[in-house]
Amino acid sequence: MDSSRHKHLVGGLRRCTSKIPKKYIFRMEPVTQRLIYLTEAQFEPGSNDLVLKNRLGIMSPQEMDVAEARALERAMNSFIGSYGESHRFMVADLLALHKDWLGEIYDWASIGK
């Protein structure tokens, strides 16, 4: 990854993660507390930085789109009817949905509950 792209990515991640509890940030530079790498900012080797590092070894963006869509369909089918009309979604619900959807594809998707 070229230096300018890396700086842009790290700067964007720092802004996006400024409100994330530190327990979810994997590695911080101890002196400056500058964000170094999050698992979700890593790319699958051989994918030309087009596909996030994943458990399935998928390197093609098109294949990943299909895998994520199938996982979403499966997750939606498992959760349909699980919540009533008056259910108030809490963070734990969203973490469970996210883990069920993407947890088999990405390591970082199963962080949390």
Buried b (16+ CB within 10 A) or exposed e, 61-85: eeebeebbeebeeebeeeeeeeeee
- Tens-level pLDDT at each residue, the chain (113 residues): 445 544 444 444 445 445 555 544 444 444 444 444 555 568 999 999 899 999 999 999 999 999 999 999 999 999 888 888 899 999 988 899 999 999 999 988 877 64
Task: Count other Cβ atoms within 10 Å, centred on residue 108.
Answer: 20
pTM comes to 0.61
Torsion angles phi and psi, residue 84, rounded to 5: -80, 170
DSSP of 6-67, one letter per residue?
HHHHHHHHHHHHTTS-GGG--EE-TTT--EEE-GGG-B-TTSTT-SB--TT----HHHHHHH
What 29-35 contacts at long range (C-beta under 8 Å, 24+ apart), as own/partner pairs, is: 34/10, 35/10
